[in-house]
Chains A and B, each alone.
Chain A
Amino acid sequence: MNKVFVVAMREYLSAVKSKAFIITIVAMPILMGGGIFVQTIAEKGKDTRDRKVAVIDRTGILYDALAESVAFRNEYAIFEQPKEGEKVDDADEQQSKDDGQDPTEEQPVKPPKVPRQVESRFILERVTPDNGDEMDLVFTLSERVRRGELFAFVDISEDVINVGADGQKASIEYYSNVLTYNALPRWLKGATVTAIREHRIRAAGLDPHKLNLIVGVPEVEFLDLVSRDQETGEITAADKVNREARMAGPLVMCMLMFLVIMVSATPLMQSTMEEKTQRIAEVVLSAITPFQWLLGKLIGMVGVSLTIVVVYFSGAAIYVLTQTEAWQYVPVNMVGWFALYQVLSILMFGALFIAVGSACTDHREAQSAVMPVMILIVLPMMFWGAAIQEPNGALATWLSFFPPATPILMLTRQALPPGVPAWQPFVAALLTLITTVAFIWAAGRIFRVGILAQGKGAGLKDMAKWLISG
């Protein structure tokens, strides 16, 4: 056992001392946050220069409404949102801005802190179509865009006001040389729609207030179930649930699990190939059995994976401690299962990586030989969405009993309310354990022959032969 530990220590130290490990441990949060970090940086570096736009309003009635909307936007909607309170969903936010409703409904600018401007101001310029040459006008405006005097110009045709009536189609023509810029056309569309709607309401002689009463839509609010307090016997009120935040816990755990497998199990293939091709194997095998060696390598990597997790969990814990509200979203009860599944994953996949590494003599061979293992690892991620939607659906349930997928899928199902029947994680974990032992045994047999075999690399057929005949 002591020798296994010697191997494990070497494997562990060589992994955590490598530059690759340190880079990965830094890079992982970036990946895990789904680029949130990058997004924030991009947000900060965003171009917030004024965008000047010329408007040819052929309806004669929309320009004023647009000017009003843009004035509102420039005053209230282009600044960083205050942090406190729940973040409003993006779509709603956009809608309410575009609607140009009562400004007091929006988060007002709070002195003394001046909010940072995060969006460009839009400056409108009215262009009256003179009855001259149409093409001339469009050309002149195009030239102004080219010279940089304008960012874009729009041509709102007369038909726009009747759009929708009797299948009437009409469009707003948006001219610019930066067609990838989204904010301006998006605002324009929203503002035009609102303006047209208000115009029609008035034209129909309706009371806008009454109409709002008719078309007003309620929000769906998500709540936990209500329960009775054991001591007082009172029925406690249900808590409001932030669904996004509730999903964040399982999401982060699964991403962490997936990345930890990728980061700690794959290097086993590299290190095994090094031991084989650098002819380190024979000396080591003069002191320990192949199986002890394999076990040592796996234990070393379990250590690496736990190191990563501890680093991130402590990071997360520090963050959570500063944000008392975040506590409710931390699936604390899942930590034990997480650790179990993670250790099993590293052992299970690590054994496969070692087997592949021992059979290959160069990276090209390894790349193709490792594909089946990679598919096994990625498989649960492909069904992860389904598991989130219906944690207890047939697909998610069955797949979570497929051992290579168990760690990620069962964990997801467990972490999502209402959870899974109590027996399921135990049975799945047992199945995974049995599979892990079988994989380690099989890898041991392949490793024993492969690590000393020189010459051309072995294919699946050879590996199968080694597995059977040893």
Chain B
Amino acid sequence: MHAVELDNVTKRYGSHVAVNNLSLRVPTGSVYGFIGPNGSGKTTSLRMIMAILYPNQGDIRVLGESVGTHAAADDRVGYLPEERGLYRNLTVRETLKFHANLKGHQKCNGDIDFWLGRMDLKDWADKKIQALSKGMSQKVQIMAAIIARPELIILDEPFTGLDPVNTDLLRDVVLDLRRNGTTVILSTHDMNVAERMCDALFMIFKGNKVLDGSMDDIQADYGRDTLHVRLDGHDSPLDTIDGVVGVTDFGRYQEVRIAPDADTQAILAKLMQLGRVEHFELAKPSLHDIFVRIAGPDGAAAMDQTVRDSGVSHE
């Protein structure tokens, strides 16, 4: 059972192809991550699922119903857009009531009180939006998206601008929603969040789908080709070592990408010659690393080549 199904969806703005022949299945009850660099077609895809934009080609089904070309999104779908704002002269309670009513949820006072408590905004219920801090109004926006008890909720960059406490709070809320059977689509630039929270991931790059599946599936595709290394008192470049393809320096440790046929023992030996090895771990590539491989300068060039050669999406 899929909450969202996209089949061969293409969206063009003039001659620019924002989303190219995209097919996608979001399993019901999952937390599904949308990742991709800025301007790669994430928001366009989400807007099409929300029936705010209509595709030039392809079919979109949300919660089993086909998204027509002249209808608003289903009331069972909640949406927190990346571009979000609130009426500044409404109070928090009025705002929530407005959004609940707009989604056809009339008797919403109980829900409003529940969420105000959950989000720690009870004292602010009757304050106007314009009196709220940025973080607080973001929490109100999140509440507005979920107040009408949606079956599917789409959160576009929900964590941006939240402090760690509120980030944890929102994460708990999302996980609670999933526990209650809600499907959550989450777009984020924070790869740690995506990696830890999402049951499945989808990455779009230059309008094409480049990743799709569970974290395990994705990592399996890339194999165990990564070393996490911490060397003490040495900063000679590691990429001179045989079998090392690339190095990402995180400051306190390095993520070393190795060739598929590289001998890890030989690499360890070489490292021990270079300095004192404090940490050495053979690991699957992190999502961050995968993201950079695809969307970094090298990946982008390869992608352009692929698109030019085939005219079809790269997978």
Seen from chain A, the residues whose Cβ lies within 8 Å of a Cβ on chain B are 2-3, 6-7, 10, 14, 17-18, 274, 278-280, 282-289, 292, 452, 454
Tell whether A3 pairs with B102 under 8 Å between CB atoms, given A286-B72, A286-B77: yes
Q: Known: A283-B141, A283-B144, A289-B71. Is A14-B102 also a contact (CB below 8 A)?
A: no
Q: Is the beta-carbon distance between A282 and B52 smaller than 8 angstroms?
A: yes
| Residue among A3, A274, A283 facing the most chain B CB atoms (10 A cut-off) | A283
Residues A283 and B72 in contact, CB atoms below 8 Å apart: no
- Is the pair A279, B83 in contact by a Cβ cutoff of 8 Å? yes
Is B244 an interface position by the 8 A CB rule? no
- With contacts A3-B104, A7-B102 taken as known, whether A279 is within 8 angstroms of B71 at the C-beta atoms is no
A286 touching B50 by the CB < 8 A rule? Answer: yes
Task: Check A286/B73 contact, CB under 8 A, given A2-B104, A14-B90.
Answer: yes
CA distance A18 to B144 in the complex (A): 23
What is the chain B residue whose CB lies nearest that of A284? Answer: B102
Instruction: Report the separation of the CA atoms of residues A287 and B99 in the bound assembly, to the nearest whole angstrom.
Output: 8
| Residues of B with C-beta under 8 A to A286 | 50, 52, 72-73, 77-79, 81
* Chain A hits for B90, CB < 8 A: 10, 14
- Whether, in the assembled complex, B85 has its beta carbon less than 8 Å from a beta carbon of chain A, the answer is yes
A6–B84 CA distance with the chains assembled, in angstroms:
20
For the complex formed, measure the closest distance between the CB of A304 and the CB atoms of chain B, giving whole angstroms: 15
- Cβ contact within 8 Å between A283 and B145: yes
Q: Which residues of A contact B52 (CB under 8 A)?
A: 282, 285-286, 452
CB pairs A–B below 8 angstroms (16 shown)? A3-B101, A6-B98, A6-B101, A10-B98, A18-B89, A278-B85, A280-B86, A282-B47, A282-B81, A283-B81, A283-B84, A287-B73, A287-B103, A288-B72, A292-B72, A454-B83
A16–chain B nearest beta-carbon distance, Å: 12
Chain B residue with the shortest CB-CB distance to A278: B85
In the bound assembly, the distance between CA atoms of A3 and B103 in angstroms comes to: 8
Residues in A with CB closer than 8 Å to B87 are: 10, 14, 274, 278, 280
Q: Is the CB of A279 within 8 A of B98?
A: no
Picked from B72, B85, B89, B141, the residue with its CB within 8 Å of the CB of A287 is: B72
Distance between A73 CB and nearest chain B CB, rounded to angstroms: 58
A7 and B88 CA atoms in complex are apart in Å by 16
Task: Give the shortest distance, in Å, between B169 (CB) and chain A (any CB).
Answer: 21
- Asked if B84 contacts A289 (CB within 8 A), the reply is no
Are A282 and B84 interface neighbours, CB within 8 A?
yes
Check if B75 is an interface residue, CB within 8 A of chain A: yes
Give the residue among A3, A285, A287, A452 with the most B Cβ atoms within 10 A: A287
Residues of B contacting A14 in the complex (Cβ-Cβ under 8 angstroms): 87, 89-90
* Chain A min CB distance to B45 (Å): 14
Tell whether, in the assembled complex, residue A289 and residue B70 are in contact, meaning their CB atoms are under 8 Å apart. yes
Nearest neighbor of A3 in chain B, beta-carbon distance: B102
Given A14-B89, A280-B87, 8 extra CB contacts under 8 A: A6-B101, A278-B86, A280-B84, A284-B102, A286-B50, A286-B77, A289-B70, A452-B52
Query: Mostly helix, strand, loop or mixed at chain B's interface?
Result: loop
Residues of B within 8 A of A (CB): 47, 50, 52, 70-73, 75, 77-81, 83-90, 98-99, 101-104, 141, 144-145
A3 to B47, CA, bound (A): 20
Q: How far is it, in angstroms, between the C-alpha of A284 and the C-alpha of B87 when the chains are bound?
A: 11
B102 touches A287 (CB 8 A): yes
Q: Give bound CA distance, A286 to B83, whole Å.
A: 12
Docked complex Cα distance between A309 and B89 (Å):
25
Residue with the greatest number of chain B CB neighbours at <10 A, chosen from A2, A17, A285: A285
B85 touching A280, Cβ below 8 Å: yes
Please name all residues of chain A whose beta carbon is closer than 8 Å to the beta carbon of B103 when the two chains form the complex.
287
Check A287–B83 contact: CB distance below 8 A: no
> Within 8 Å CB of A284, what residues of B?
102
For residue B79, which residues in chain A have a CB less than 8 angstroms away from its CB? Answer: 282-283, 286
Q: Pick the residue among B85, B101, B102 that contacts A279 (CB under 8 A).
A: B85
Contact, CB under 8 Å: A285 / B72: yes
Minimum distance in angstroms from A411 CB to a CB of chain B: 34
Q: What CA separation (Å) do A278 and B88 show in the bound complex?
A: 9
Which A residues are in CB contact (< 8 Å) with B144? 283
Q: Whole-angstrom distance from the CB of B83 to the nearest CB of chain A? A: 4
Give the CA-CA distance A284 to B81 in the complex, in Å: 10
Chain B residues near A6: list those with CB within 8 A. 98, 101-102
Complex formed: what's the CA distance from A51 to B144 in Å? 72
Q: How far apart are the CA atoms of A402 and B283 in the complex, in Å?
A: 77
- Residues of A near B85 (CB, < 8 A) are 278-280, 283
Could you tell me the distance between the alpha carbons of A274 and B103 in the complex, rounded to whole angstroms? 21
Docked-complex contact A283 and B99, CB < 8 angstroms:
yes
Cα separation A284 to B72 with both chains bound (whole Å): 10
Question: How far, in Å, is B43 (CB) from chain A's closest CB?
Answer: 9
- Residues of B within 8 Å of A7, CB to CB, are 102
A454 to B83, CA, bound (A): 10
A451 to chain B, nearest CB (A): 10
A18 contact set on B, CB distance < 8 A: 89
Chain A residues closer than 8 Å to B73, beta-carbon distance: 286-287
Report how far A288 CA is from B104 CA in the complex, Å.
10
CB A403 to nearest CB in B, in angstroms, measures 27
Give the residues in chain B near A283, CB-CB below 8 Å: 79-81, 84-85, 99, 141, 144-145
With both chains docked as a complex, state the minimum distance between the C-beta of B127 and any C-beta of chain A, in angstroms: 16
Chain A residues lying within 8 Å of B98, measured Cβ to Cβ, are: 6, 10
State the CA gap A452–B144 with chains docked (Å).
Answer: 19
Q: How far is the CA of A321 from the CA of B191 in the complex (A)?
A: 74
Cα A3 to Cα B72 with chains together (Å): 11
Closest 10 CB pairs of A and B: A286-B79, A279-B85, A278-B85, A282-B81, A279-B83, A287-B102, A6-B101, A280-B85, A289-B72, A288-B72
Instruction: Give the CA-CA distance A6 to B108 in the complex, in Å.
Output: 14
Cβ contacts under 8 Å, B71 to chain A:
289
Bound Cα distance A331, B73 (Å): 49
The one of A10, A274, A279, A454 that contacts B84, using a Cβ cutoff of 8 Å? A279
Q: Which residues of B contact A280 (CB under 8 A)?
A: 84-87
Query: B53 CB to closest chain A CB, in angstroms?
Result: 8
Q: Which of chain A's residues have a CB closer than 8 A to the CB of B89?
A: 14, 17-18
Least Cβ–Cβ distance between A448 and chain B, in angstroms: 10
Q: For residue B86, which residues in chain A have a CB less than 8 angstroms away from its CB? A: 278, 280
Taking the nearest CB of chain A, how far is it from the CB of B106, in angstroms? Answer: 9
Contacts of A454 in B (CB 8 A): 83
Distance in angstroms between the alpha carbons of A2 and B79 in the assembled complex: 20
Measured CA separation A17–B91 after assembly (Å): 13
A283 to B84, CA, bound (A): 7
Q: Cα distance A3–B80 when bound, in Å?
A: 19
- Per the bound structure, the CA–CA distance linking A287 and B87 in Å amounts to 16
